[in-house]
Amino acid sequence: MQYFDMIEKECESIGLQLEENKYDKFIKYKDLMKEWNNKLNLTAITEDREIVIKHFIDSIKVFNFEPLKKDIKVIDVGTGAGLPGIPIKIMNDNSEVVLFDSLQKRINFLNEVIKELHLENIKAVHGRAEDFGSDLSYRETFDVAVSRAVANMSVLSEFCLPFVKVNGYFVALKGPSVDDELKEAKKAIGMLGGKLEKVIKVKFEDDNLNHNLVIVKKVKKTPKQYPRRAGVVSKKPIR
């Protein structure tokens, strides 16, 4: 229970309750991440305390956006090691979560985590956002798309907004330079059917980290030509 108080404090600050069984899932998740990291290079963050703060608590902070506490359908685009999708599922078991990533080896890891943590109503999907964003089984079917992926807001918007239904939300976890990114991404967000609603400043009580949650509301359907084909989105972002 070494990190229980630390995680519990952060949960309580945003109106969440950390039960012991949820904490146990986080610890098992951490251990699996470290074990698989030896062969898969999932994360550069390998110390227990750093994993708890910079991965788990950072992911839990998305619940500053209140709709994520409800019974909703969420897709985590470019999930990597399962962040923030797995913490979202641990903290809100009523959510339906899709973990989406382009690397099959990471999907194998995520399936192992899902099995070992006994998580239900969650699946890991292998593919490219450019392809699945046009697939009618996925396109505009999610209440919320989240992403912690390392890409600028123009690129992330084209990856994520096609998945979101009208009146749903795209939530991007961003660092301190978010204002510059948003200026560059203003045209892209609008063209893809989104509207910037707000930026939530996120602080960490036990660390000096300062992050942001960028909240984009889907106000109209994404035009059929988006997302563009694989490779184009990153090379030629909408400006």
For the chain, give the percent of residues with pLDDT over 90: 90
The rounded distance, in Å, linking the Cα atoms of 62 and 202 is 9
State both tokens at 205. Answer: 């009580």
The rounded distance, in Å, linking the Cα atoms of 90 and 62 is 13
For the chain, give the percent of residues with pLDDT over 70: 98
pTM of the model: 0.96
pLDDT digits (tens, 9 = 90+) for 163-221: 999 999 999 999 888 999 999 999 999 999 999 999 999 987 666 677 899 999 999 99
- The CATH number covering residue 224 comes to 3.40.50.150
Question: Which residue in the block uniquely carries the two structure tokens 């973990």?
Answer: 99
Residues 192, 156, 211, 117: what is their CA dihedral angle, to the nearest 10 degrees? 120
In the chain, which ranges are continuous DSSP H helix?
Answer: 4-13, 20-40, 48-51, 58-60, 85-91, 104-116, 129-132, 153-160, 178-191, 232-235
Question: For residue 95, what are the domain limits?
Answer: 4-235
Encode 154-202 in three state secondary structure.
HHHHHHHHHHEEEEEEEEEEECCCHHHHHHHHHHHHHHCCEEEEEEEEE
User: Residue range 95-106: average pLDDT?
Assistant: 97
Q: What are phi and psi of 229, to 5 degrees?
A: -65, 160
Domain count across the chain:
1
